[in-house]
Amino acid sequence: MNQELVVSIVTPCFNASRFIARAIDSVLMQDYPLIEYIVMDGGSTDGTVDILRQYGDRLQYVSAPDNGPADAINRGFARSRGQIFAWLNADDTYLPGAVNAAVRSFLSNQTAAVVYGEGVWTDEEDRVLGRYPTVTPYHSAMLERECSICQPTAFIRREAYEAMSGLDTSLRFTFDYDLWIRLSREYSFVAAAGCTATSRMHRSNLTLGQRKSVFEENISLLRRHYGYVPVNWVYGYLTLLRDGRDQFYEPLRHSALVYLGSLFFGSYYNFRQPWRYWKDWLSHVRFSSYRGAHSNS
C-alpha cells in the first residue's frame, strides 16, 4: 500500500481531563505509520495540559484561548502538513485500524473527498449503547433529513476542506453537519465498510448538555441550506420544550397534542414548501411509532 499519505488528526479540547487520555491513546495505537497528531487545548485549568505533557513528542499540543471547537480545529489543520484531515473530539475514540481503513478507501476511490464508516455510541465507561444511525451507501439527499454521518469516522481530503474554507466558526454544535452539506454539493463521499470510531454520549457533552440550543441550531442550519425542516426536527424540538427530556437517555415521550402542534409550527418554518411539509407530517400521523431527531455535533 502507498504509505505516502500523511493523515493529520486534530483533537480540540477544553477541561477534558476526564476522557482525553482515552482519545489520545486511540490515536497513538493506530497501525498506520504516517499520522501527525495535534491537540488544540483552549486553556484548560483541570489538569488536561498535565496529561498532554506526559505524552512528550508523541503528539503536538497548543494550549491557548480559542473561539470554540470549530476555531480550534481550523487552527490545528492550518498548522498541519497532511493530505488527509480528521478530527477526534476529546471524548470520542478511534477503533483499531480506523486510519488504515480510511487511507485504503481513499486510495481505492481517487475522486472521493470524504470517507466515513460506521460508528457506535458509548457511555462514560466505554460500554456500547447502540449503533449511530449512519446511512449507507452514501447519497447526498440523506443530509436533508439529519446528520447521518458519525463525525469521528470521517476523513477528508485537505484540498476539499480548504476549498470550503474549513469549518464555520459561527456554529457551536453543527459545524460538522454544515461541512458535510457544503462538501456534498461539490464532492463525492464514500461510505466504507466497518465500524471505525466511538461517539461518547454523556449528560455533560454538547449534544445532550445543551439540547435546546442544539435543536435550534440544527433547525436554523436546515432552513439556511435547504429551506426545509423535516417533521422529526419540529416535533422533537416541541417535545423537548414540553418536558425537557434529552431524547437519548430519556426517550422521546409521544403526545398527540404536541404532534398536532408540529403541524402549525412546521408550516411556519416551511412556509416556502408547505405542501412538502404537510405530506411529511401526514406520513407520520401514527406518532406512536415515531422517532425523534438525532444529532452528533
User: Which grid coordinates belong to 171?
Assistant: 456554529
The span from the CA of 150 to the CA of 195, in Å, is: 10
Q: How many CA atoms lie within 13 A of 184 on its CB side?
A: 21
Torsion of CA 82, 88, 90, 96, to 10 degrees: -100
Confidence of residue 81 (pLDDT cuts 50, 70, 90): very high
pLDDT for 247 equals 87
Whether 289 has a pLDDT exceeding 60, the answer reads no
SS3 15: coil
Q: What is the pLDDT of residues 236-255, one digit of tens each?
A: 999 999 998 888 888 888 89
- Is the pLDDT at 291 greater than 80, yes or no? no
Question: What's the pLDDT at 89?
Answer: 97
Q: Is the pLDDT reported for residue 13 higher than 90?
A: yes
Separation CA 184–CA 294 (nearest Å): 20
Q: Is the sign of the CA dihedral 54, 58, 62, 66 positive or negative?
A: negative
Strand partners, 119: 197
Model confidence band, residue 94 (pLDDT cutoffs 50, 70, 90): very high
How open is the CA angle 174-25-23, to the nearest 5 degrees?
20
Strands 155-157 and 84-87, by their bridges, are antiparallel
Does the structure show a pLDDT above 60 at 286? no
Residues of the chain above pLDDT 70, percent: 93
- The residue with cell 440550543 is 213
Please say whether the beta carbons of 75 and 181 come within 8 A. Answer: no
Mean pLDDT within 14-23: 96
Reduced to 3 states (helix: H, G, I; strand: E, B; else coil), residue 69 is helix
Q: Is 200 helix (H, G, I), strand (E, B) or coil?
A: strand
**Cβ atoms 155, 179 nearer than 8 A:** no
Which CATH number does 7-200 carry?
A: 3.90.550.10
* Region 154-159 average pLDDT: 98
53, with CB counted inside 10 A (0-12, 13-18, 19+), is exposed
* Residue partners of 110: CB distance under 8 A and separation at least 6: none
Instruction: List pLDDT tens digits, range 181-226.
Output: 999 999 999 999 899 999 999 866 767 778 899 999 999 999 999 9
Q: What is the CA 164 to chain-centroid distance, rounded?
A: 17
Q: Is 262 helix (H, G, I), strand (E, B) or coil?
A: helix
Residue keyed to cell 476526564: 18
Report pLDDT for 295: 42
**Domain boundaries, given as residue ranges, for the chain:** 7-200, 206-289
pLDDT for 43: 96
3-state secondary structure of 91: coil
Is the previous residue joined to 230 through a cis bond, with omega within 30 degrees of 0? no
Query: In which band, very low, low, confident or very high, does the pLDDT at 155 lie, cut at 50, 70 and 90?
Result: very high
